[in-house]
Amino acid sequence: MNKIKLLTIVSVLIFVSCQKGLTDKEKEMYTQKGQEIAKATFKKMGGEVTKKMKEGGVFLAAPYCNAHAPEIAKDISSEYNVVLKRTSHKLRNADDAPDDREAEVIEQYLNLHEMGEPMQAFVELDAAGHPHFYAPIKLQKKCLACHGVPGKTMEQRSDSIIKSLYPHDKAIGFAENDLRGIWSIQFQDKE
Ligand code: HEC
C-alpha cells in the first residue's frame, strides 16, 4: 500500500470516528436548540421586514435587509454562543456564500426535494469538532415579493431596487415551497 492510500484511509477513519462523537441525546438536544435559534432569527428579521413592507414596500424593506440582516445574524450568534449563517445555492449577498460542507448539504436537500422526500434538520460534528446544525429554508408566499419571478410573482421595479443593492443577485425566480437555502449554525459550547 502506498503512503497516499494509507493517509487517505487514516483520514477517512478519523473523519468517521469524529462523526460518531455526538450521542443521540446530544444530537437531539442540539437539533432542538438549532430549531429554536432559527425560529428566533426568522422572527427578528421577519418582524421588521413585514413592518417595513407595510410602511413602504420593497423600496423600504430591501434596504432594511441590506443594512440589518448581517447585524441580526451577529447579534443572535453572540446571544446564543453560536456562529449563525444563512446560505444558498442562489445567493443575494456574496458574503453568505456556502463552504464545501454547506454546498454538499444544499445539494442533498435539493435532491431530496426533487424526489418529493422530506428535508429534515440534522446535527453533526463539523471539521472543527463543533456540533453543527443544518436545516432547510423553504420559500413562503410572503418571500415572493423579493425572491419571486420578476414581472410575474414579483414586481419588476422591486427587482430593479434589489439589483441596485446587489448587482450580482441570483436569489430570484423561486416559487412557494422551493428550497431557498439553509440554516448553518455552529455551536461553540462543546469542543
Ligand atoms: C423585502 C425584501 C425581502 C423579503 C420579503 C425577503 N427577503 Fe430574503 N433577502 C433579502 C435581501 C435584501 C437579502 C440579502 C441580505 C443579507 O442577508 O445580507 C436576503 C437574503 C436572504 C437569504 C440569505 C442568503 C442570500 O442569498 O444572501 C435567505 C436564506 C433569504 N433571504 C430567505 C428569505 C425567506 C425565506 C423569505 C421569506 C420568509 C425572505 N427571504 C423574504 C430581501 C428579502
Q: Which of 89, 97, 100, 103 is nearest to 179 (CA)?
A: 89
Specify if 13 maps to a domain: no
The pLDDT of residue 41 is 96
Query: How many angstroms separate the CA atoms of 185 and 134, rounded?
Result: 7
Q: Given the C-alpha cell 443521540, which residue does it identify?
A: 24
Query: Can you list the positions of beta strands (E) in the chain?
Result: 82-87, 122-125, 131-138, 179-187
Specify if 6 maps to a domain: no
User: How far is residue 1 from each of residues 6, 9, 10, measured CA to CA in Å?
Assistant: 7, 11, 13
Specify if 111 maps to a domain: yes
Specify if 9 maps to a domain: no
For residue range 69-94, what is the model confidence (pLDDT) as tens digits? 999 999 999 999 999 999 999 999 99
Q: Whose alpha carbon is nearest atom 30 of ligand 1?
A: 180
Strands 122-125 and 82-87: unpaired
Domain residue limits at 36: 21-187
Q: How far is the CA of 93 from the centre of ligand 1 (A)?
A: 9
Q: How far is the CA of 144 from the centre of ligand 1 (A)?
A: 10
Specify if 3 maps to a domain: no
Total domain count for the chain? 1
Q: How far is the CA of 5 from the centre of ligand 1 (A)?
A: 44
CB 134 within 8 A of CB 182: yes
Specify if 44 maps to a domain: yes
Residues of the chain predicted below pLDDT 70: 1, 3-20, 190-191
Which atom of ligand 1 approaches the CA of 93 most closely? 27
Q: How far is the CA of 53 from the centre of ligand 1 (A)?
A: 13
How many CB atoms lie under 10 A from the CB of residue 42?
14
Specify if 85 maps to a domain: yes
For residue range 112-140, what is the model confidence (pLDDT) as tens digits? 999 999 999 999 999 999 999 999 999 99
pTM of the model: 0.90
